[in-house]
Amino acid sequence: MSSRHLAKGSRAPPSAKGKLRLYSNRFCPCAQRVHLVLDIKKISYDVVYINLSSIPDWFSSIGKVPALETETGDILTESLIIADYLDEKYPQHKLHSNDPLQKAKDRLLLERFNKVIHTMYKVLLTSARSFTDEPEETISEGLEMFENELNNRSGSYFGGSKPGMLDYMIWPWCERADILKLFGNQYALKKDEFKKLMEWRGFMLLDEAVQNNFLDADTHIRYVQSYRCGIPDYDQILAH
């Protein structure tokens, strides 16, 4: 298991045939999705961290994270596809609803959340000064949609009495939400406006898989600042 992010010029890690291997990056929220699924299901796996600013030659045929190498050597990419595969392949701690209609509704919510994700990263990784009111409105409307959805669900989570697939798939961006206030108070989460979401966030922070993969706001802020300077520091947590 590598600890530093492997970059161009590095050697390919030894084969992990017969064991799952996840090619990941500590600051990639989509990769975090897969870590959460693997950890909540307590699946044994190897992890290799990839420097996305200097992709190793031996990894160029895959080219992006997350990528899951199965026990048979097959490669799967795209976080939602990998998460679905793991939920079917490893039925312990089932994350998707057994109701096909509810599963479809949750996937539609995820699709709508993609617009919030895109806008959030536009704020975080580019110059916020050039923005109009559109990002604030898009993020606020998206959060309001999920606030209303939580109010209509039975239980503290989107999955009901415990976190389900939808909870884990949106969590990585909710973990990073506190960074938004760096770019103006209008982006800070309003506790009185999103009461259910804030309660949900508190419950999610107690989850074992979330705790295993959690990075605090200061760590995310240092990464964002390094990225905006053109030198993303993927290995910063090894020095702290």
Would residue 49 count as lying in a domain?
yes
The stretches in the chain having pLDDT less than 70 are 1-2, 123-136, 180-191, 239-240
Structure tokens at 189: 């989460």
Say whether both 90 and 111 belong to one domain: no
Known catalytic residue at 174: no
Catalytic site residue from 28, 30, 174, 229 = 28
* Confidence (pTM): 0.91
- Count structural domains, the chain: 2
pLDDT in tens, 97-155: 999 999 999 999 999 888 887 777 776 666 544 444 566 677 777 888 899 999 999 89
For 197, the domain range is 100-206
Say whether both 82 and 105 belong to one domain: no
Give start and end residues of each alpha helix (H) in 68-189: 79-89, 100-125, 134-151, 165-175
| 173/29 Cα distance (integer angstroms) | 7
| 220/127 Cα distance (integer angstroms) | 17
Q: Tokens 């539609």 identify what position? A: 108
Residue-level pLDDT at 54 = 97
> What H or E segment, with its residue span, contains residue 212?
helix 208-213
Would residue 238 count as lying in a domain?
no
pLDDT in tens, 91-112: 999 999 999 999 999 999 999 8
At 145, which CATH number?
1.20.1050.10
Residue-level pLDDT at 125 = 67
At 22, which CATH number?
3.40.30.10
Would residue 213 count as lying in a domain?
no
183 Cβ contact partners less than 8 Å away, ≥ 6 residues apart: 123, 124, 128
